[in-house]
Amino acid sequence: MKLAQPWGGSNGHGDSAKNRYNDTKGKSMEFEFVVPKRPVSFQTDNKDNLRVWKDYVYGYAFRAWKGSPIVNEYFRFSIVFLCEEEPPDINNIIKPIEDVLCGLVYPDDSSVISVDGHTRFFSEPFDITIAPEKLLEAFYLGNECVYVKVKTIRHEELFL
């Protein structure tokens, strides 16, 4: 299967950009997936490695996403990096994943108006009562991974 590039072009099904977009008209949407691998930092000197990482993330997102990009909405983008030790800067993990979802989940990353990133070590206590199911599944496997969640939000849902 040939995957579309996250920065534009075909979605692999021959659909034009015009009929690929979805307007949810205020309906709430939540999308989550897990990338079962240690992330590559946006600041890496090895840009080939970053490209491979982005393609890897796109593959998992593409398999999990069941729709076309959503227009006329704003998004909250959240990640949790589950790791053993010495994680890369969480801010440098966010950008490549956020970029990959452009054209797949949202038409442009300017639609993402709220971002949060978290690093959690397997050696630290983990509150299973508040964790989403996909994050729990990843935690119990015990392998480094990145949990990603994208949710539509309204401006009034934002807080400082």
Q: Which of 132, 154, 153, 142 is nearest to 33 (CA)?
A: 132
CA 105, CA 119: separation in Å to the nearest integer?
A: 24
Question: What pLDDT is stored for residue 85 in this prediction?
Answer: 86
Q: Which of 20, 18, 22 is nearest to 4 (CA)?
A: 20
Lowest mean pLDDT among 11-20, 74-83, 151-160: 11-20
Q: Phi/psi at 50 (nearest 5 deg)?
A: -65, -45
Other CB atoms within a 10 A radius of the CB of residue 49 amount to 12
**H or E stretch including 131?**
none
CA 26, CA 70: separation in Å to the nearest integer?
A: 11
Residue-wise pLDDT for 92-107, tens only, equals: 999 999 999 999 999 9
Structure tokens at 65: 């996403």
**H or E stretch including 100?**
helix 90-100
Going from the N-terminus, what domains does the chain have, and what CATH number goes with each? Answer: 25-157 (3.30.1330.70)
The pTM score is 0.81
109, pLDDT greater than 50: yes
